[in-house]
Chains A and B, each alone.
Chain A
């Protein structure tokens, strides 16, 4: 009897012990720090020491556009998620980054006021993660006067032609150039291009130059957002491009689907070649439009494929989103925010001495040869009069609900003198390594 009781007690104790071990192991696995590793290595958040930062916060702000039909706050929200990961990994030499994101509705007065608030009221040492149809144009002079270099993701011309911005993306003009190049290479004999009317002149101008250079008829369809009759516009584009022609759409995942659904409803998916800028290169869109569009797309992707197996930074982005921003689906805008925050963190970590607006922005200007598996070429700033570090892209397509790479990294055509000059500077100043 005593033996049985002892055995029972032993078994129960063993089971309890096993349960405790299993529970603690499970807890450990769910709470395991991410982004841990050697500082400066790919796939690591900041210092990578797994310790929570506790010192005085370093203020970084960001400003993204949010209008019906276009939501760029994904960029800033992902930057915030990366900074949260940095703060869980030792912060900036023990100090956490306090990131505040503002949104604007394409109102220049609001954009001006918020820029002033970030720099003068909030006293943010840096501005990171900005993306807007118009904010570069509105605020570049102000940022320049204050000595700030914004690490963000650009859209309009000023983002790529003024010293105040260092964008991690190529932007719609150059992404469209890449897509137009790919469509023409694939045999498109005509090209119809559509972008939001607010950026059409800049965004569509590049691919139009590519088509003209190739001797191909081209027509631009500036589109007012939100789109109210995608089918009518699409038919106009199809009537121009004709069977076998190219239709290039340059919209975010809020708007592009209306055109793609209209193409399906009109039965013209397989009758033309579809080009697009980066924003629709993500698994969510592929799952919506595959297999209908499989093999019919030439999407210029300014970043690597959104896939954790691409490399350590890509894998880290997936983990960061899962842990710190679970509502954000992995996509190009998340890659932009991730890279914005990653490079800003590298600049912060490189500062010797006090972290001030001056020391941070000087550190940003010194950034060069920033390698990551998310970009074809290393990122740099280099204190140039303008920055177009992202000037080599891949082409992707959909297949079985996934995004697949269709061609390797290719430098897009130097339709603007600035691109040719940029490539000269890259070599001259060793901005992307020797």
Chain B
């Protein structure tokens, strides 16, 4: 065991790297959580929702406002943050989903980019960056600290990985055993045929929009605690790492997306102490996504866009 602990990785010892692994797993959980949400929505509707981060950020800001400027209990503000993600996603899906249903996936994605920009504008207007004092949205779980093999781990980091794992497993089972899940899988294969078979397409899509929105709200709630600040720009760009995770999962496999999210989180964090490459940590999601696509494309054709309808 001692030998393992003393293992030197590129000149940096294991003891030195351990805290960064813990941090990376925490972030990885959030990326996986939102990545799975992205994949479920994409499978059911063909929409790659790039507004994911912005919706989560807006929910987090609302929760911050409720906690700090009203007498709303914390638990209720947190619930509103998660629900906000579901409601906004659902509203967008219901209003714009049918209009975009027959359009190219790129057009569908650009629609969500519009939503992201509107939300970013609103956040910049109502909660501008700066303003002398920082905003926080700490979760009570960050107060609980455990020492695992000499490294501090807080409960939020454990929750982040746990929720991502539970969501991935839960959604996998849901898609296999429930009629709604079966309908979603059918939609993923062919929207037109599924509709002619009598499946209520709008209702199934609504469930996908709402469900993935809840995942996005949950990510918006956990990430500020891991970041130790509520920066809506950083939260909005969460979508980049989540997209990388979803691409690693080929926008199809939930477990591969989960693994991708964890890998992106770990890669970003573990290279931090390596001075020569730490400046490139923000590139980690792209590098991993490209590497995964190249490796996977050796065996099969990788499709990152679907034929409409």
Q: In residues 33-69 of chain A, which contact B (Cβ within 8 Å)?
A: 66-69
**Interface size class, chain B:** 20 to 34
For residue A316, CB closer than 8 A to chain B, the reply is: no
Given known pairs A236-B272, A254-B131, A265-B154, the reply for A230 and B227 (CB within 8 Å) is yes
For residue B20, CB closer than 8 A to chain A, the reply is: yes
Q: In residues 184-214 of chain B, which contact A (Cβ within 8 Å)?
A: none
Given known pairs A232-B23, A235-B20, A267-B152, the reply for A66 and B130 (CB within 8 Å) is yes
Q: Report chain A residues within 8 Å CB of B132.
A: 71, 74, 252-254, 328-329, 331, 333
Q: Report chain A residues within 8 Å CB of B89.
A: none
Pick the contact of B23: A235, A261, A285, A328 (CB < 8 A).
A235
Stretch at the interface among A148-156, A160-168, A221-229, A386-394: A221-229
Q: Report chain A residues within 8 Å CB of B20.
A: 232, 235
Would you call A71 and B134 a contact (CB within 8 A)? no
**Interface size class, chain A:** 35 or more
Would you call A254 and B133 a contact (CB within 8 A)? yes
Which residue on chain B has the smallest CB distance to residue A227?
A: B229
Q: In residues 234-261 of chain B, which contact A (Cβ within 8 Å)?
A: 234
Q: Closest CB-CB distance, B161 to chain A, in whole Å?
A: 16
Would you call B227 and A228 a contact (CB within 8 A)? yes
Q: What are 25 pairs between A and B in contact, CB < 8 Å?
A: A67-B130, A69-B129, A69-B130, A70-B130, A71-B131, A74-B132, A231-B226, A231-B228, A232-B269, A235-B19, A235-B20, A236-B272, A252-B132, A253-B133, A254-B131, A254-B132, A256-B134, A258-B227, A258-B229, A265-B156, A265-B228, A266-B145, A267-B152, A268-B152, A284-B133
Q: Closest CB-CB distance, A389 to chain B, in whole Å?
A: 25
Would you call A265 and B130 a contact (CB within 8 A)? no
Pick the contact of A68: B130, B142, B281, B282 (CB < 8 A).
B130
Listed in ascending order, the chain B residues whose CB lies under 8 Å from chain A are: 16, 19-20, 23, 27, 129-134, 136, 138, 142, 145, 152, 154, 156, 226-229, 231, 233-234, 268-269, 272-273, 281-282
Most buried by B among A235, A257, A329: A235
Pick the contact of B134: A66, A239, A257 (CB < 8 A).
A257
A71-B130, A226-B231, A230-B227 given. 4 additional CB < 8 A pairs? A66-B130, A68-B130, A266-B152, A284-B133
Q: Closest CB-CB distance, A343 to chain B, in whole Å?
A: 23
Q: Closest CB-CB distance, B64 to chain A, in whole Å?
A: 13
Complex Cα gap A231–B27 (Å): 11
Listed in ascending order, the chain A residues whose CB lies under 8 Å from chain B are: 66-71, 73-74, 226-233, 235-236, 239, 252-259, 261-262, 264-268, 284-285, 328-329, 331, 333
Would you call A265 and B142 a contact (CB within 8 A)? yes
Would you call A257 and B136 a contact (CB within 8 A)? yes
Complex Cα gap A232–B20 (Å): 7
Complex Cα gap A240–B176 (Å): 50
Given known pairs A230-B229, A231-B23, A333-B132, the reply for A261 and B272 (CB within 8 Å) is no
Pick the contact of A262: B228, B231, B234, B273 (CB < 8 A).
B228
Given known pairs A230-B227, A265-B142, the reply for A236 and B136 (CB within 8 Å) is no
Complex Cα gap A254–B230 (Å): 10
Complex Cα gap A247–B120 (Å): 35
Complex Cα gap A253–B135 (Å): 10
Q: Closest CB-CB distance, B229 to chain A, in whole Å?
A: 4
Q: Closest CB-CB distance, A86 to chain B, in whole Å?
A: 23
